[in-house]
Amino acid sequence: MSNQIPVHDVTPPAKDANKSVDLYASREKIYTRAFTGLFRNLRMLGGAFLFLLYFGTVWLNWGGHQAVWWNLPERKFFIFGATFWPQDFILLSGMLIIAAFGLFFITVYAGRVWCGYTCPQSVWTWIFMWCEKVTEGDRNQRIKLDKAPMSANKFLRKFAKHSLWLLIGFVTGMTFVGYFTPIRELIFEFFTGQADGWSYFWIGFFTLATYGNAGWLREQVCIYMCPYARFQSVMFDKDTLIVSYDPRRGENRGPRKKGIDYKAQGLGDCIDCTMCVQVCPTGIDIRDGLQIECIGCAACIDACDNIMDKMDYPRGLISYTTEHNLSGQKTHKLRPRLIGYALVLLTMISLLVTAFFMRSLVGFDVSKDRVLYRENAEGRIENVYSLKIMNKDQRDHTYLLDATGLPDLKLQGRREIKVAAGDIFSQPVELSIAPDQLPSSTNEVTFVLKDADDSSVHVEAKSRFIGPQTR
């Protein structure tokens, strides 16, 4: 008896042996159909909130300046009354970790709802698709228009569509740059030619990026460019809510007249109208099962429910469900992975809130001058230091400066320092001591900074006091 496993060549024969095989299918343009439904309304409400947040926040003022302003030249970041500095970027790391675990949690529970409802790529793509419908008509009209030869009507419709796309892209880019340059000044300087070159560059860049991503690339970004689509399957389990077609109820598919006994003909509830395919922004057929291209937007659910209503069939042929539910098993809402993500998420939120409220509203830094030491006119050994005081609060503060650590230590310079809100104060100070009071050539000293009006504000900065060699 042979121990070899029989192998059969199942490669389909090439139609033309001299013709190369293309491993990548060319993109087919997707023409989405307009539809209505519950999930569309939810998506519109969510998109409206995100648009209001993105485009509206930049116009708010707080404390005499823009409420949210990332002032990169001065390295100050204003967020609704709080001033952050580069030293506070550990908080940003915490926010990113929270966002990551929040995304993991919602993915384990409800799949890719982030992609379908709140991802900027999806939100802006839906807006651009609306511009298409307004300028070129619904799905069948757009297909017909694209197949027609160029005419004045076609040119004007295409011109209007691309003009709207570019306008939305321009407003998006202007708003984004407005978070780094005060928006009111930016708009005036932009249209009067007084803005700096980087402002023009970045506004142009984000205009074209929005125009290209939401207007031309669209589902290609979700399918091929977004890493989230690649690692989402790691977080899915059989209890994750996904958009699914119920084959037990829908098969066999087939057209029929309303009111007939389709069950007697061996047909399921699916009338094979392909409406679920026509409304899908990524062009997939949800009836083929869970696919990496599905962004969980539920457009197919709304479209199918409308058809079910017209046929007097119960809704839910396509629905948010789980693999366990589809196979007739019980869905487990609470499971270890979901609970684990929830606990980590709550822990990180608690730590971030604690760190935010416990962070010091004054930054204090001391650096010693490069000159080791010198002898002043009084014969005392003197060291020079550079002090930097950062007032992170939204009001002015007066601080009291002192130094400790050595006997007979004398601080020369200003002891009472007033620092404006959100400002940095720098000054050199001198410490001096009698030579016979130096315990060694290198000694630790502590600078103490106290708030004149708030005794709870007390920060220290350590440094070294250098003197001559002692016997």
Chain mean pLDDT for the chain: 91
Give the β-pairing of 61-62 and 65-66: antiparallel
Q: What average pLDDT does range 226-243 have in this prediction?
A: 87
For residue 107, with 0-12 CB atoms within 10 Å meaning exposed, 13-18 middle and 19 or more buried, which class applies? buried
Q: Which two three-digit tokens encode residue 22?
A: 């293309």
Q: What letter would DSSP give residue 14?
A: P
Burial class (CB in 10 A: 0-12, 13-18, 19+), 271: buried
Is residue 120's pLDDT more than 90?
Answer: yes
Q: Residue 439 to residues 142, 368, 369, 380, 429: CA-CA distances in angstroms?
A: 88, 19, 21, 14, 22
Distance CA 382, CA 373 (A): 6
pLDDT at residue 315 is higher than 90: yes
Tell me how far apart the alpha carbons of residues 449 and 425 are, in angstroms, rounded to a whole number. Answer: 13
Q: What is the pLDDT of residue 228?
A: 83
Bond into 252 cis (ω within 30): yes
pLDDT computed for residue 304 by the predictor: 97
196 and 98 together in one domain: yes
Cα(228)–Cα(63) distance, integer angstroms: 39
Q: Closest Cα to residue 356, out of 3, 57, 76, 79? A: 79
Q: What is the pLDDT of residue 85?
A: 85
Domain span at residue 110 reads 38-233
Torsion-angle region of 341 (φ positive above 0: left; ψ -120 to 50: alpha; else: beta): alpha
For residue 13, name the pLDDT band (cuts at 50, 70, 90): low
Residues 196 and 278 occupy one common structural domain? no
Locate 258 and state its tokens: 């309303």
Mean pLDDT of 422-442: 91
User: Is the pLDDT confidence value at 84 over 50?
Assistant: yes
Whether pLDDT at 56 is above 50: yes
- Average pLDDT estimate for 402-429: 90
The mean per-residue pLDDT over the stretch 165-177 comes to 98
CB count in 10 Å sphere of residue 400: 12
Answer whether residue 426 is part of any domain.
yes
> What mean pLDDT is predicted for residues 234-254?
93
Q: How much is the average pLDDT of 426-445?
A: 93
**pLDDT tens, 324-351?**
999 889 999 999 999 999 999 999 999 9
pLDDT at 199: 96
User: Is 15 a member of any domain?
Assistant: no
* Residues 256 and 175 occupy one common structural domain: no
Domain count, the chain: 3
pTM of the shown model: 0.84
Q: Identify the domain boundary among 177, 209, 233.
A: 233
Task: Return the pLDDT at 75.
Answer: 85
DSSP state of 467: -
Question: Where among 187, 207, 233 does a domain terminate?
Answer: 233
pLDDT, position 456: 84
Do 167 and 189 sit in the same domain of this protein? yes
Q: Are residues 246 and 186 in the same domain?
A: no
Please say whether the beta carbons of 58 and 175 come within 8 A: yes
Show Cβ contacts of residue 47 under 8 Å, excluding neighbours closer than 6 positions: 117, 123, 126, 127
| In-domain check, residue 13 | no
Closest by alpha carbon to 124, among 159, 58, 161, 169?
A: 169
Residue with tokens 């030293």: 87
In CATH, what number is assigned to the domain containing residue 444?
2.60.40.10
Phi/psi region, residue 374 (left: phi>0; alpha: psi -120 to 50; beta: rest), is beta
Is the per-residue pLDDT at 444 higher than 90? yes
Question: Does residue 399 sit within a domain?
Answer: yes
Q: Is 419 helix (H, G, I), strand (E, B) or coil?
A: strand
Instruction: Name, in order, each residue with C-beta under 8 angstroms of 5's C-beta and a sequence gap of 6 or more.
Output: none
189 and 92 within one domain: yes
360 — pLDDT class (breaks 50, 70, 90):
confident
At 20 the pLDDT is 55
For 209-226, the pLDDT digits (tens) are 999 999 999 999 998 899
What pLDDT, on the 0 to 100 scale, is given for residue 404?
Answer: 94
Picking from 184, 178, 300, the residue whose alpha carbon sits closest to that of residue 250 is 300
Number of Cβ atoms within 10 Å of the Cβ of 23: 5
Band of residue 322 on the pLDDT scale cut at 50, 70, 90: very high
Shared-domain flag, residues 106 and 192: yes
Of the listed ranges 128-132, 212-216, 271-275, 388-392, the one predicted with least confidence: 388-392
pLDDT at 178 over 80: yes
* Block residue for tokens 């959100």: 422
Q: Could you tell me if residue 388 is inside a domain?
A: yes
Residues 46 and 172 in one domain: yes
Q: Which of 332, 271, 334, 265 is closest to 303 using CA atoms?
A: 271
Whether 382 contacts 374, CB under 8 Å: yes
Q: What is the pLDDT of residue 1?
A: 47
